[in-house]
Each structure stands twice: as structure tokens, then as C-alpha cells.
Chain A
Amino acid sequence: MPDRPSDTAGVITRDEVAHLAVLARIDLDDAELDHLAPQLSVILESVASIQGVAGDDVPPTSHPMPLTNVFREDVVEPSLTAEQALSGAPEAEEQRFAVPRILGDEQ
């Protein structure tokens, strides 16, 4: 069995969790970070056992059934109306999704 990467043996720091939360677009406050970081460490320690289990000769499986590309006939089918598509939107304007500003001050 190959050695586990020594610096990543399942432990995740509070700072790393904070960084991942930014990547995942979730605001986590200090209390949440204190709560979640140790739990994530425990989970990662448990799944770390998987490292080195399968050798290079084992192909990865991304999907349980063998599949090829699936195509359909290029014909127009009914789809949602604009009203239906916007029916769950937090805010809509002129038949469009209304969103907060997408650029920062410096852009």
C-alpha cells in the first residue's frame, strides 16, 4: 500500500474549512466553524482509509451502468412559459430574473 500523504491524513483545519466555505459560497460564522471543523476532521479521518486501496490498474467508475451518449430527434417540444419559469424567482423584472449587482466596486 502506498504511503498516505503525511500532511493530509484526514485532518482538516478550521482555516481550511473557512476557505472551503468561501469556495462553496456559504457564510459560516465563528460558532459554525467551531462546530463543523472538528466533525469534518472525524469524517475525513474515517474516509482516509480509502487511500491506496485500489492500484493504478483499476479503472475508475463514474457511473454504475455502461452508457453511451443519448440523443433525441431534433424536434421542438413544449417547454415552460416565461411566466412558469419565473414563478419561483425571488425577484423578476420584464420577464427576466432580477439579480443583485454582479460586479464589485473595483470592477
Chain B
Amino acid sequence: MSWIEKDAAALTDALAAGEVTSVELTQAHLDRIAAVDGGERGVHAFLHVDAEGALTQAAESDARRAAGTPLSALDGVPIAVKDVLATTGLPTTCGSKILEGWVPPYDATVVARLKAAGLPILGKTNMDEFAMGSSTEHSAYGPTRNPWDLDRIPGGSGGGSAAAVASYEAPLALGTDTGGSIRQPGAVTGTVGVKPTYGAVSRYGLVALANSLDQVGPVTRTVLDSALLHEVIAGHDPRDSTSIDQPVPDVVAAARQGAAGDLTGVKVGVIAELAGEGWQDGVMARFRESVDAMVAAGAEVVEVSCPSFVHAMAAYYLILPAEASSNLAKFDAMRYGLRVLPEGVDSPSAEEVMRATRDAGFGDEVKRRIILGTYALSSGYYDAYYGQAQKVRTLISRDFEAAFEQVDVLLSPTAPTTAFKLGEKLDDPLAMYLNDLATIPANLAGVPGISVPCGLAEEDGLPVGLQILAPALADDRVYRVGAAAETLLTKALGGPLLDRAPTLTETGAGA
């Protein structure tokens, strides 16, 4: 097995044992990126690759290892960062033309923590513009391709991060999850993604889509790797007033405990509302098998009803556009980003420049959501739409509370279908929105969730994800049960699911 195929936990051991250097590891991943990311048929997970910076950081890491002063267990393990997180010295575009070439003068707290832990940053990953989408097709810089089938979507908005780890371009990546943007890409690329409890990870330096929903989290190939990364990025940050000022649960210990595959005494609930019409047969079949395997491993399973979940999508598509339309008002062509002058106007006003800039700089989906949010917040409709959505949010939280009185964790498939074809839903917003049916409730209620691979759908041979949700602050539970599910699947398959992905042909065009 080559270095790029090893998981981060194995790499930390190899680095500690002196079997490999960080420079070697970082170069191996840069070579992989150069081989499979670029060109017409490349994965296109990266918007920007920082070979020089990553190798410099790797050399510094090797010097620390040699001196016996590593900064963390993950010191020297390279990582990819979603392009919605501010990085000093590296462009941060959020997949938008309006921020093309913008280089932030500060680091997001999570990025500062990666640096403080010694992880070389390989580059910035592709995403739907301002994280609005479920396929990365709304990136202004072209879509990312799913390594399982290059004609299919890698999920979104964090399809770049998921595709990067799925195609062995990076062992670790950071994503952000506002309505499923870590978990759904994880599901459709056969990788692991975690949305921590709201406030568990700092949002400082995360370019906000919807402040009350956004959360940064790990994107990896194994549950333990996610836990190792979670440990690095989580914890209180005085620069984020919504950050939780409490100790981080021991997610690494939970992942190690779960990896034994024993679920004796764990009560799991299957969410009744997340099934039925619109749910692909092969997805449901793999999901039911996973639940059966968990029962065989000692879990007790019950069906749980969360009746308000049927309104989650409507609530989400009112709350999110409302928050997004306010957040994106900052792109006013004055302080950073694009400035476009309107055509045929002498001495245009600031407002005319702002209107022309936002027309040129924003893509269709961003325009749709800004206008939708402006509508939802306008005086005549506020109570009927936005006010109702906030109340439904309360009902969804109550559903979770009632459910977690009965069970330890809740289960559902992560997404209703496997990866669809590029272009298939691009101009059908509603069809696109339905991908996040199962992941949205967790964001509305702030609870943590994980997606772990649970097999391949029979009809198309594409990955299916199992979603595990836990009560707020009980992030350790999603790691314990997630690791157990992973162990059970690996046993059933005789190896990791990702081993079944087709070998990528080298496109050789560079990133």
C-alpha cells in the first residue's frame, strides 16, 4: 500500500516511528493531485494548490520531529481546506467570482489550529458558490467530479473536500455543513464526514452562509481520522460568540471504543419519516442491512417518529436564504472582492456599481437564494414565512428531544439517492434541494451527525451513506456508533468500501 492510501492514524504512527517524513508524505499527495486533479477529466477537487507552502510546512514539521518536539499527533500529516475558510496568503474564493483572487489578511480559527498542530496545508478545495448547493456544480470555477464515476456529482457543497480524500489526494480535509454539506458529499463519495454540535467548532473566519446553521467539521476516510481531526479543531474560541465554552468530549477514545464493533446496550432509533417515496431502493436496502448488522452487534433498535421533520426542508429554505441574503450584503464592491462598473453609465453611483458587481459576481443559485431571502424577510410575508419557519425549528428540536429520551442515537440514510449525473439537476433547484432532506434537521436543531459508508447500491454500484445523529454536545456518541458501523461494514466487505472504487487514470495535466 502506498503512502497516499494509508489513513491519517497510520500516517501519524509512521511519522512517529520515523518510517516516513512529512516532506515525503506531502510530496506524495502533491504528486497525486498533479496526476489526477487537472485536465478535462480530472477530479478537480482543488481550486488552489500550495505546493511550496505545504512543503515548507512539512520541512518544519520534520525538523520538529527530529528535535523530538512535535506539536501534535497529526504534526506533519497534510490536509486540504475548503475554500470557504480564510487562509492567510492563500486565495479564498468561496467558489465565487465575486471573491476571485481575494487573499485574506487573517486565518480562520480552525486554520490557525491546523497550523498550531503542524498540519501542512495542501490547498483549497472546490465548493458550490458560498456553499449553496448539493453537487459543487454551482462553483464558478467548474464542478468537481466524483472519483467513483467522473460523470457524476461528488455531492455538495463540500464536494471538493470529499473528492480529495476519496481520490487519495489528501488524507484529511476540512468541510463545512450548513444543511448537509459535509455529510452528503461523504455519503456519495464513500467517505466519512462529521458535522459537530453547533458551536463545538469555531466559525471565526468561516465566510458565513447562514450563521445559525453553519458548522465546520472533519472530512476523512475513516471515523478515527475524523475524531483525530475533530480533536484538533474543536473547543472554545473567544472570537466566536456562539462557540461553546465547555470541554470537548473525548471523541478519539469514543472512536477507538466503537471500533471494537460491539454495540451492546446501545439503543438506536430509525427515523420513520426519512424513508418512502423518493428514496432509492438500493439506498434503503444498504441502510436496512446496516441496521441489522448493528442489531447483530448488540444494539437495540426501535422505530422513532419525528413528525415535524416533513417540514424541515421548507423551514430550511426560508431560514437559510433569509440569513444568506443578510450575510452576502457585505459583498458591496467597496472593501474587498470584485468591482464592476455598469455599462454606459457616466460617473456611476456606489449603488449602481454595487448592483452591477453583484450581477456579474454572483451565480444563479446565489441570486435565487438572495432574492428568496429578501422576499421571506419583507414585511408582508415575514410572519407567514420566516416567522413560521422559526417556529417549525422549535418543533424539530422538540422532535429530537423526544426521540433522544427513547434512544441514544438516531439513524437514517444520509441522502435519498446515490450520486446523480453532472447536469441532471443543475437548473432544477427543487430537485437539488431534496438531496438534503435527511441532513437538514440536524442543522436546524444544532445536533451532531456523521455519515459513514454503508455499502454500494445494487442498481448503480455507487456508495451509500449511513447517518448517525446524537443529542447536542454528545459528539462522542456519533464517533462511537459510527466507528462500530464502520467496523461492521469493513468486516462484511472484507476491507474498506473505498477499495472498491475504480482506479483513476492519470490525467497528468496538473492542478
Contact = CB atoms under 8 A, between A and B. Distances in A.
Interface of A: 4-5, 8, 12, 16-17, 20-29, 32, 35-36, 39-40, 42-44, 46-54, 58-65, 67, 70, 72, 80, 84-85, 87-91, 97, 99-104
Nearest to B366: A26
A88 B339 contact: no
Nearest to B245: A70
Given A27-B356, A39-B429, A90 B337 contact: yes
A5 B384 contact: yes
Interface of B: 102-106, 197-199, 212-213, 238, 241-242, 244, 308, 311, 313-315, 317-318, 325, 329, 332-339, 342, 347-356, 358-359, 362, 364, 367-368, 370-372, 374-375, 378, 380-381, 384-385, 387-395, 397, 427, 429-430, 433, 443-446, 472
B367 A32 contact: yes
B356 to A, nearest CB: 5
A43 B430 contact: yes
Q: Is the interface of B mostly helix, strand, loop or mixed?
A: helix
A58 B314 CA distance: 17
B358 A52 contact: no
B311 A50 contact: yes
Contacts, number: 186
A21 B443 CA distance: 28
B238 A54 contact: no
B349 A101 contact: yes
B317 A61 contact: no
B317 A47 contact: yes
Contacts of B354: 25
A99 B472 contact: no
Given A50-B318, A61-B397, A100-B352, 7 more contacts: A25-B332, A42-B430, A60-B390, A64-B397, A64-B444, A65-B472, A101-B348
A50 B392 contact: yes
A44 B370 contact: no
Nearest to B310: A49
A88 B92 CA distance: 11
